[in-house]
Structure 1
Amino acid sequence: MSNFTPDRRSLLKGGGTLLAAAATMSSEQLLGLAKAWAQSAPWKPEAGAKINMLRWKRFVEAEDVAFMKIVDAFQKATGVTINVSNESYDDLQPKASVAANTGQGLDLVWGLYSLPFLFPSKCTDMTDVADYLGKKCGGWAPSGQAYGQLDGKWIGIPVAATGGLVNYRVAAAEKAGHKEFPKDLGGFADLVKGMNKNGTPAGMALGHASGDANGWLHWALWAHGGNLIDKDNKVVLNSPETAKALEYVKGLYADFIPGTASWNDSSNNKAFLAGQLHLTVNGISIYVTAKKENPQIAEDMNHAHLPAGVDGKTRELHLGFPILVFNFTKYPQACKAFTAFMLEPEQYDPWIGAAQGYLSPFLLDYTKNPIWTADPKNTPYRDVAVTAQTPAGVGQMGENAAAAIADFVLVDMFANYCTGSEDLQTAMKSAERSAKRIFR
């Protein structure tokens, strides 16, 4: 692949013009890259390989188009057939679980968060792919390693993450008294209160929104020093720190736009783009859509990391996207080859460009992509691997932590207290019981 290194360097240094050109790389160019790669790649697909792949439904259309071009080029260069099916965030894990339990139907899943950890014994060892990519692409961020490794073995490859960051309307924040986005918990609460008072409310999901609700509510727990489990994976949820997090979130909820307790992952996008919502936690997809469909909103919005916790450190749960290969596939070499090809610089860099900030890398070289600085509003999404924790927090990622986030243990605790269906102690104890059933 050294033949193509100069192109990659020029892409990384070339700014917006080259980025736009790369993001629209012709099918012929991509096919040429794929053919050259296939000749030298360590993995040789099995003859007649047919891969059934499941991935999440797109939130940024250009990302999906760029991804399907990569699929098409790989198929033509290798003779492998890849059937791609798409499911919503909330339907993806159940479909993957059915395949894992039955041992059929899917070969490869590009999923959410800690999906490989739900059934690690069904995952192909991807250590060779991870090592290959790490050496070639600047190494893995520690959060990438945490999302991919179990007991020193890579059971999945973290392709990227969607940063769960604050999307806000600048004029509304300034009118509420915050010319700069607050960096502490008290300032953030003051901003939310002031925005609601002015009729420009905030709102974050408290329903079963796999990305949005899990993301900001894990942050709220960690920011107050709370944890679901400790470093030995013992459940420690029922604590004064959790109580403080619950009270803090209920205070925010009191100033939210109505209805957030039933929101899914697309609810806040729609409300923000309709001008009903002025602050939320989301990927960059709201901004990408606004630039296209409502430039006035795009002009008046910006992004920020969530405030630091009580100890001054920022810990966030971003929506990691790991890819796994089931170990019952008949075509492990084809699956490994495709996974590695996806993250090769020659197409991953323009793919990130096409995603317009929606895919943040775990491989460190990709933080140099000009998409992160061509528009300063994109820049906060560049560094999500730095602030990312896995759903296990300070604990060890594994089947139990994966099950806890899949079952919305934390989300339900916060939602039950905020909506008044449980008092503070009952909400904590209910969640503690649910967690202890999982972490037996």
Structure 2
Amino acid sequence: MTDFGFDRRSLLKGGATLLAAAATMSADQLLGYAKAWAQASPGKPEPGAKINLLRWKRFVEAEDVAFMKIVDAFQKANNVTINVSNESYDDIQPKASVAANTGQGLDMVWGLYSLPFLFPSKCTDVTDVADYLANKCGGWADSGKTYGMYNGKWIGIPVAATGALINYRIAAAEKAGHKEFPKDLGGFADLVKGLHKNGTPAGMALGHASGDANTWLYWALWSHGGNLIDKDNKVVINSPETAKSLEYVKGLYDNFIPGTASWNDASNNKAFLAGQLYLTVNGISVYVTAKKENKQIAEDMNHAHLPVGTDGKSRELHLGFPILIFNFTKFPQTCKAFTAFMMEPEQFNPWVEAAQGYLSPFLKDYEKNPMWTADPKNTPYRDVAATAMSPAGLGQMGENAAAAIADFVVVDMFANYCTGREDVKTAMSSAERAAKRIFRS
């Protein structure tokens, strides 16, 4: 493995103002920084390397623009090519799996949740990159380690997460009797009922929405003491605690706006911005878009963490975005160098600012970025890494837990009960069978 222990002083030799200038994200200044970085880097990209990188489609345009500036600067500074393709959340995993199985087509994937754990044997060891970034950027949050490490080594770099937090309309919540956003399960259920009664409904996805459905439904399960697997990775979904979570979610669903059982990851954004939806679980992208397209909604909305569980503890599943390098790539050093470069503070901080709260980093130093407090409505998204759990919950992340979330085992259990397809016992039994097929327990 290449040692990514860059000499900070060597980067400064090109001029004392270079790093400060790069933070403005001017294309020319960023290119100057990239060239200095390339000269100082011990991990030299392979000459003429051509990389195919797949990433999720943007929800915040400015984030994508900032990302592509980083890509462009790295290409020019190192005389390499990085072809970036974009797919919807739900299409990332199938395309990555095809590449993993065939050993061709993609070099890198910036995907969702536990994507590297679906095929850990196909991932390049990036422990050197992870250690370099940790030493430079204040260390990794524990949740970042969970999203990146497998059997003692790093198989992916958890770039950031999109916080799955409450987006709500302030006036509607107050009219429903909640001037302060409820922090407990009972208060949250009361708010959702009040919103429905007043014709200002809530709504969260129960369809196969990789981001929006998985995040809040795993929270609902965990908050009642339920779990898909225990600490030994034994399937324990069929339990009294799970039954309570099913009843709780059914009570919410009965007060939702119609149609949430078929929602994808864009559905709640559209409904909220159209003034049809007054509470949902989402990233900050609704607010970002509203500030640009509907300032009245932006001024009347706020964000909050999901309520604590029955034991008073906070457990949330956020939409982690790990980047992986396939071990069949012909250009591993180029892929590693690009991964390290894109998360350097000089361009990562402006990138985080451009994302306007949509990217919540797992590296601790990035919590200090002033954008998290410049607008108090951004602040809840700063703390996403601290509250995040992995899709394994109590268990260990691995191929099985990754497959379970990719197959919507938990989502289907809730959807089947809420829509009347199955009763509580049958829904739990169906989920138990599906999980046991995956975990082979």
Q: Unmatched 5+ residue regions in structure 2?
A: 1-7
What's 1:403 paired with?
Answer: 403
Q: Does 1:268 align with 2:272?
A: no
Deviation at 1:80, TM superposition (A): 1.2
Give the TM-score of the pair, scaled to structure 2.
0.96
What's 1:235 paired with?
Answer: 235
Assess if the C-alpha contact under 8 Å between 1:125 and 1:154 holds in 2: yes
Assess if the C-alpha contact under 8 Å between 1:8 and 1:345 holds in 2: no
Amino acid in the other structure paired with 1:91: D
Distance (Å, rounded) in 1 between the aligned partners of 2:96 and 2:80? 22
Amino acid in the other structure paired with 1:355: A
Distance (Å, rounded) in 2 between the aligned partners of 1:425 and 1:336? 48
Amino acid in the other structure paired with 2:69: K
SS at match of 2:360: coil
* 1:315-334 alignment, distance < 5 Å: 315-334=315-334
SS at match of 2:82: strand
Amino acid in the other structure paired with 1:374: A
Distance (Å, rounded) in 2 between the aligned partners of 1:9 and 1:285? 29
Amino acid in the other structure paired with 1:66: A
Assess if the C-alpha contact under 8 Å between 2:18 and 2:33 holds in 1: no
SS at match of 1:44: coil
What's 2:300 paired with?
Answer: 300
Give the length in aligned residue pairs: 430
Amino acid in the other structure paired with 2:368: K
Q: Does 1:433 align with 2:433?
A: yes
What's 1:246 paired with?
Answer: 246
Superposed CA deviations along residues 124-171 of structure 1, whole A, max 9, x for unmatched, are 000000000000000000000000000110000000000000000000
* 1:108-119 alignment, distance < 5 Å: 108-119=108-119
Superposed CA deviations along residues 232-279 of structure 1, whole A, max 9, x for unmatched, are 000000000000000000000000000000000000000000000000
What's 1:15 paired with?
Answer: none
Assess if the C-alpha contact under 8 Å between 2:54 and 2:109 holds in 1: yes
Assess if the C-alpha contact under 8 Å between 2:19 and 2:346 holds in 1: no
* 1:288-367 alignment, distance < 5 Å: 288-367=288-367
Deviation at 1:428, TM superposition (A): 0.2
Assess if the C-alpha contact under 8 Å between 1:206 and 1:415 holds in 2: yes
Distance (Å, rounded) in 2 between the aligned partners of 1:390 and 1:8? 38
Assess if the C-alpha contact under 8 Å between 1:109 and 1:323 holds in 2: yes
Superposed CA deviations along residues 292-319 of structure 1, whole A, max 9, x for unmatched, are 0000000000000000001111010000
Distance (Å, rounded) in 2 between the aligned partners of 1:259 and 1:348? 38
Distance (Å, rounded) in 2 between the aligned partners of 1:33 and 1:405? 40
Assess if the C-alpha contact under 8 Å between 2:18 and 2:32 holds in 1: no
Distance (Å, rounded) in 2 between the aligned partners of 1:295 and 1:426? 46
Q: Unmatched 5+ residue regions in structure 1?
A: 12-20
What's 1:387 paired with?
Answer: 387
Distance (Å, rounded) in 1 between the aligned partners of 2:388 and 2:212? 14
* 1:133-172 alignment, distance < 5 Å: 133-172=133-172
Q: Percent of aligned positions with the same letter in both sequences?
A: 83
Distance (Å, rounded) in 1 between the aligned partners of 2:236 and 2:44? 47
Assess if the C-alpha contact under 8 Å between 2:291 and 2:298 holds in 1: yes
SS at match of 2:383: helix
Q: Does 1:51 align with 2:46?
A: no
What's 2:94 paired with?
Answer: 94
RMSD (Å), alpha carbons: 1.5
The change in CA–CA distance for 1:421 and 1:364 in structure 2 (over 3 A counts) is same
Assess if the C-alpha contact under 8 Å between 1:143 and 1:386 holds in 2: yes
Deviation at 1:42, TM superposition (A): 3.0
Superposed CA deviations along residues 11-44 of structure 1, whole A, max 9, x for unmatched, are 9xxxxxxxxx94x521011001101111112311
Distance (Å, rounded) in 2 between the aligned partners of 1:313 and 1:189? 18
Distance (Å, rounded) in 1 between the aligned partners of 2:164 and 2:41? 34
